[in-house]
Structure formats: structure tokens, C-alpha cells
């Protein structure tokens, strides 16, 4: 074989080897997306489970450190909680107070259902009793339920 023929054969062989290496690198960095497989949905039915075995310990032995007997009584189970009836308060607005310079008694301006009343602590108007009050809020009771009413901002 001539010198040029050997060179062309070796050049072709080198190009094939580098082509294979390049193809593997390109295929490694840009993989083909895997085909999406769809799974069949099945109805899951759970097995019947056995009831858990519950127990309680009766600790009626002497305390080894204090030397006394355990006298704690088991807690009584409470019944279902009693639902309270929702009481609808009348429209109550606290508009201010007047206080005397020499007395501790304060007179509060309270609007109940659109009518304004002057009330002291402990007085009752339209079923609403004034329990206590400050310059910022008052506490009123209506049918046994206590509610706090804050001062209304009536600046024009």
C-alpha cells in the first residue's frame, strides 16, 4: 500500500472513533424523554381491622418513696357539653362619660336601641345592666351574658 492510502485509511478510522465518542457525549447530555406510562386506577378496599384492646391500670399500691397509699380518685366522665343559646344583644353604643371633680361616681352615656340613657354602675335600662366602665370602654350584661363595648368615635 502506498503512503497516501494508509494515511486516508487511518484518517477515516480516527474520524469514525471521534464520531462515536461525540455521539455518546451528545446523547448523554440530551437524553430522550421517557414515554409516559398510564396506570390503571383500581378501587382500594381496606381490610377490616380488629378493635384495639384497651385497658386501664389500677394503681392501688403504697408509694415506695413517701410510704403513703395512693388516694387519687378516678376522674368522672363528663357528659356531652350543653350548648348555650345564642343571645342577641340589642344595639349598644358607648358615647362617653361625665365624672365629677370631687366624687368617684361616673355617669356614662349609653345608647341602647337608638335611645340614649345616662347610666351609673349597677343601673339597668331595657334589660341591659351596666357592670363597670372606664373612659375607653364599658362592660354591660344582658340576660346573664357580659359584653365589653368600646367608646364610639363620633368626631365630625
Q: What does the pLDDT read at residue 72?
A: 64
The pLDDT tens digits for 27-49 are 888 867 777 777 777 777 777 77
Could you read off the pLDDT of 70-90 as tens digits, one per residue?
666 666 667 667 666 777 778
142 close to 127: Cβ distance less than 8 angstroms: yes
Residue 18 grid coordinates = 471521534
Query: Cell digits for 50?
Result: 380488629
Does pTM surpass 0.75? no
Residue 108 C-alpha cell reads as 356614662
pLDDT tens digits for range 100-141: 777 778 888 888 888 888 888 888 888 889 898 888 888 999
**8 A C-beta contact, residue 106 and residue 120:** yes
Of residues 11 and 153, more confidence is placed in 11
Domains detected in the chain: 92-150 (2.30.30.830)
Amino acid at each position: 500500500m502506498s503512503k497516501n492510502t494508509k494515511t486516508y485509511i487511518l484518517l477515516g478510522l480516527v474520524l469514525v472513533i471521534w464520531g462515536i465518542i461525540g455521539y455518546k457525549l451528545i446523547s448523554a447530555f440530551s437524553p430522550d424523554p421517557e414515554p409516559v406510562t398510564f396506570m390503571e386506577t383500581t378501587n382500594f378496599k381496606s381490610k377490616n381491622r380488629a378493635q384495639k384492646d384497651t385497658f386501664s391500670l389500677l394503681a392501688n399500691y403504697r408509694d415506695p418513696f413517701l410510704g403513703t397509699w395512693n388516694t387519687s380518685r378516678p376522674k368522672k366522665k363528663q357528659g356531652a357539653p350543653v350548648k348555650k343559646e345564642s343571645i342577641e344583644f340589642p344595639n349598644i353604643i358607648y358615647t362617653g362619660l361625665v365624672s365629677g371633680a370631687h366624687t368617684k361616681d361616673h355617669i356614662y352615656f349609653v345608647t341602647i336601641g337608638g335611645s340614649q340613657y345616662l347610666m351609673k354602675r349597677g343601673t339597668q335600662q331595657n334589660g341591659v345592666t351596666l357592670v363597670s366602665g372606664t373612659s375607653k370602654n364599658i362592660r354591660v350584661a344582658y340576660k346573664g351574658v357580659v359584653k365589653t363595648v368600646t367608646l364610639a368615635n363620633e368626631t365630625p
